[in-house]
Amino acid sequence: MSKKKTERELLYEKVLGKDAPKRTLTESDITILKNNPFTNEPISEELQRLKENSDKIKQQTETLMDQIYSVDFDLDMDSLKQSIKDDFGNEFPIEQVSTINIVENQAELNSKFEYIESKLNTLVKKQENYLSSLCHAFKRPFIMGQQLSGLNAGILITGENFTGRHSSIVQMGKLLLETDILSNSKVYLIDLLKYASKEDENNFIIDLYGAINNSQIIIFDNIDSVSPSYLGYIEEILVEGKLSLNKRYILNNKQLVEASTSLVKNTVSELNFKGKYLVFITTLKTSKLLNVVGSRFINTISDSLYTNKLSKDDIVEIYPSKLESFKLRCLTNLNININVDDSIINYIKDQYRSENVKFLIDLFDRIYGGLSEYKLSEKITETVDIDLQYKENQLFINDKELQQYLPKVIDNAMEEVQKELDNIVGLTTIKEYILSLQDFYAAQKLRQKEGLSTTEVSKHMIFTGNPGTGKTTIARLLAKYLKAIGVLSNGQLIEVSRSDLVGKYVGHTAPLTMQVIKSAMGGILFIDEAYSLYRGTNDSFGLECIDTLVKAMEDNREDLIVILAGYTREMQDFLESNSGLKSRFPNQIEFPDYTGQELYDIAMINAKSKGYKVADEVTKPLTDYFTRVQENDSVRSGNGRLSRNVIEEAIRYQSTRILNDDNAQIDLLTLEDFDKIIEKEILN
């Protein structure tokens, strides 16, 4: 049975389908419109009018375009920028106003820099060659026309700390203002150690913006510790004269901040360093710096300068100028008119090692501290005259030893360290070694005083031994001891492990390691489980850390001691795989495991420190217990930590016991309190 067709299907067949009529169109079927059906006007006239209107519009357009292109292009761009700024925010760089005053007369320029150089030599002593080169570096942009082109002057300064690197730049800024070469004397310091990871990028950009808006001279300190990502920014600045920003920033109360939305106006797209002096400072020699920053950075530097290490004779020559400043400080702040005789020069000759100008800074700070205490103790209210002398290997003020007016923490440092060493159980050989260091350094000072050559020995050490054998305790005392005898300037102990030194991505390790090293300057850097720094030839991060550490040890050997610590066997394997390290750590000290008797003695000290006494009946059982534990497994016993843990556990058992016994002595630990501890060991 066929399906019934719908009405729609039937209609389709009648009109277009097989049932549709067959016919051919003839001329009579086509009607040609000669008039517009709406206006009844002839089509030809309508077309003509449309053409005329089109021609008229075309002519008007051409006239308008001529007018547009006849406008001054700069004014047109200014209007365009303003329009974009109004609608979308400013995506154009904010131009920094150059503060270089153009000196057109060459003779005048030479005269001004000759004056600057002569003044610098009165302010920064014993650096004549460096200061001459520094003046050439600051004059170079004027000779080469760089102050007009917008290119930068990139200056690299290498040299030891306290040789005048920073102070010379500060004084240069003041003299450039004085001679009307710059209209701003401010020097902006950016410490590259602050930017160790990508998370610090915003702070870096903000600091750069602050630098170009506040000063004409920008110092980048610690360029040897720069992270690779920030090194790329610096290279772009040196090559391009600007830094393109990959994030949107806005100005908020004259401070650059990251934009929180894309809809914000007045955004900054780049930082312009037009005409800025960029000064990079490092303690590394250029050849060593090349290994850190690469040739691309070095090639962008226009001038590479270096300061000289200061000898004892140099310090003696610098001393008078520093003395005058010190006298003025005492008179102004303390109302003390200080008279200094020539014997102080003998003190300098006796005591100076290699600290450069820092030696004089520390000396005068120490004397100033003593004078302040002298004024308080003597109840001085009016201006007084005080004589400062050096005799009998001591400094005297008015025939009284300066030492007695110094803070007691300094005065009694040796005595305190000696007392702490005496309280340490065992480690007799190690304590004797530490105390012998004073004799060695005292002998070197005597040789120096007699004009004889001195022996420079490596102070870096390796502590090996099982956990709990006193390595960290001895390191802390060693830092205080070496500070007390004048070998270290600060005496702090910085204890770190691999996670504190080795970064998480390429370029992170060196800056991270340098941050730790800087914090340890003047003290001891103690690296626990040091063998974990190197995990095989594929551990590039660990190798980078070791390389950075070795360089820092070489560059700061006068005021930094590094101690590597860890298990004996693992440390030996570590040193064998890093031959360069072994030669730099000649002092290897083995910390033996404690005996049973020594652990008992340590336990008694721990109990006393917590306010407890231990019954005599405990002595033999507890000593035997410690002896058995050490004989069975001294590696895992914990050594000194075992003693502490045993006492703390006994105190917990004693707490339960005395709550059930009203007659029990509350501060006494009896054998009953140790029984369960001893029984556990016997059962195991």
Q: d(Cα 361, Cα 355) in Å, to the nearest integer?
A: 10
551 compared with 211, residue with greater pLDDT: 211
C-alpha span between 113 and 109 (Å, rounded): 6
Mean pLDDT lowest for which of 28-37, 659-668, 669-678? 28-37
- What type of residue sits at position 429? T
DSSP line for 592-640: PPPPHHHHHHHHHHHHHHTT-EE-GGGHHHHHHHHHHHHHHHHHHH-TH
**Between 3.40.605.10, 1.10.8.60, 3.90.1330.10, 3.40.50.150, what CATH number should domain 312-408 receive?**
1.10.8.60
Return the CATH class of domain 596-683: mainly alpha
Task: Give the model's confidence band at 426: pLDDT under 50 very low, under 70 low, under 90 confident, else very high.
Answer: confident
Task: Provide the H-helix boundaries in 521-578.
Answer: 540-555, 568-577
**Chain CA centroid to CA 319, Å:** 31
- Which residue stretches of 16-105 are H helix? 43-69, 73-88
Contacts of residue 454, Cβ cutoff 8 Å, sequence gap at least 6: 444, 447, 448
From residue 54, alpha-carbon distances to 36, 421, 470, 482 in Å are: 19, 106, 100, 97
User: Mean pLDDT across the stretch 218-238?
Assistant: 87
Residue-wise pLDDT tens digits, 98-144: 455 555 578 889 999 999 999 999 999 999 999 999 999 999 888 87
| 19 vs 443 pLDDT, higher one | 443
Report the alpha-carbon distance of residue 202 to residue 199 in Å, rounded: 7
Q: Please state the pTM of the whole predicted model.
A: 0.60
DSSP state at residue 509: H
Rounded to whole angstroms, the Cα distance separating 156 from 134 reads 10
Q: Stretch 533-541: mean pLDDT, rounded?
A: 79
Angle at 161 between CA 396 and CA 235, to 5 degrees: 160
Query: Which residues neighbour 571 within 8 Å (Cβ) at sequence distance 6 or greater?
Result: 462, 464, 530, 531, 564, 565
Domain 413-591 has CATH 3.40.50.300: yes
Instruction: Residue 212: name the closest of 233, 184, 240, 236 by CA.
Output: 184
**Strands of the 336-340 sheet, one edge to the other:** 336-340, 384-391, 394-397, 400-401
Asked if 358 and 160 count as a contact pair (C-beta separation under 8 A), the reply is: no
Residue type, 681: E
Band (71; pLDDT cuts 50, 70, 90): very low
449-504 confidence digits (pLDDT tens): 666 666 667 788 999 988 888 888 888 888 888 888 778 888 889 999 888 888 87
Is residue 354 pLDDT above 70, yes or no? yes
Range with the poorest average pLDDT among 55-69, 270-284, 650-664? 55-69
The average confidence (pLDDT) of the chain is: 79
Give the total residue count for the chain.
684
Q: Is 268 exposed, middle or buried (0-12, 13-18, 19+ CB in 10 A)?
A: buried
> What CA–CA distance (Å, rounded) separates 487 from 510?
27
Whether the pLDDT of residue 618 is over 70: the answer is yes
Give the torsion through C-alpha atoms of 53, 56, 60, 66, to 10 deg: 140
Q: Output the pLDDT for position 153.
A: 77
pLDDT at 30 over 50: no
Which pLDDT score, from 0 to 100, does residue 265 have?
64
Q: Is 422 exposed, middle or buried (0-12, 13-18, 19+ CB in 10 A)?
A: exposed
What pLDDT does residue 116 have?
A: 94
Q: Are 187 and 155 in contact (CB under 8 A)?
A: no
Residue 432, classed as helix, strand or coil, is: helix
Beta-strand runs (E) in 72-177? 153-158
- Residue 651 CB partners (closer than 8 Å, separation 6+): 610, 612, 669, 673
Closest by CA position to 140, among listed 282, 306, 301, 307 = 301
Q: Given a cut of 60, is residue 203 above it in pLDDT?
A: yes
Q: Find, among 138, 162, 165, 167, the residue nearest to 152 by Cα.
A: 138
Provide φ and ψ at 5, rounded to 5°.
-75, 145
Asked if 500 contacts 472 with a C-beta cutoff of 8 angstroms, the reply is: no
Q: Residue written as tokens 């005597």?
A: 446
The CA distance from 330 to 337, in Å, is: 7
Tell me which H or E stretch contains 566: strand 561-566
CA distance 300 to 291: 16
Half-sphere exposure of 678 toward its Cβ, with a 13 Å CA cutoff? 16
Cα gap 124→444, rounded to integer Å: 30
Using alpha carbons, list the distances in angstroms from residue 341 to 331, 414, 448. Answer: 17, 29, 22
Least confident of 1-10, 110-119, 345-354, 358-367: 1-10
**Topology adopted by domain 106-306:** Rossmann fold (3.40.50)
- Domain ranges across the chain: 59-86, 106-306, 312-408, 413-591, 596-683
What are the tokens at 143?
Answer: 């000779």
Model confidence at 177, pLDDT cuts 50, 70, 90, reads: very high
599 near 591, Cβ under 8 Å? Answer: no
Return the higher-pLDDT residue of 608 and 351: 608
Question: Does residue 85 have a pLDDT over 50?
Answer: no
Q: What is the distance between the alpha carbons of residues 182 and 216, in angstroms, rounded to a whole number? A: 8
Which of the two residues, 149 and 595, has the higher pLDDT score? 595
Judged by average pLDDT, the poorest of 269-273, 403-407, 675-679 is: 403-407
Buried b (16+ CB within 10 A) or exposed e, 173-189: bbbbbebebbebbbbbb
How far is Cα 528 from Cα 525, in angstroms, rounded to an integer? Answer: 10
Instruction: Evaluate whether 278 touches 220 at the Cβ level (below 8 Å).
Output: yes
Query: Do the domains spanning 312-408 and 596-683 agree at the CATH topology level?
Result: yes
Summarize the confidence of residues 575-581 as an average pLDDT. 75
CA atoms within 13 A on the CB side of 306: 12
Residue 175 in this model has a pLDDT that exceeds 90: yes
- Identify the pLDDT of residue 526: 93
- In Å, how far from its chain's centre is CA 15? 91
3-class DSSP assignment, residue 47: helix
- How many Å apart are CA 245 and CA 248, to the nearest integer? 7
**Which segments of 159-276 are extended strands (E)?**
187-191, 217-221, 242-252, 255-258, 267-272
Name residue 304's amino acid.
Answer: S
User: Tokens for 169?
Assistant: 């730049």
Helix, strand, coil share of the chain (percent; to 5): 55, 15, 30
d(CA 100, CA 116): 16
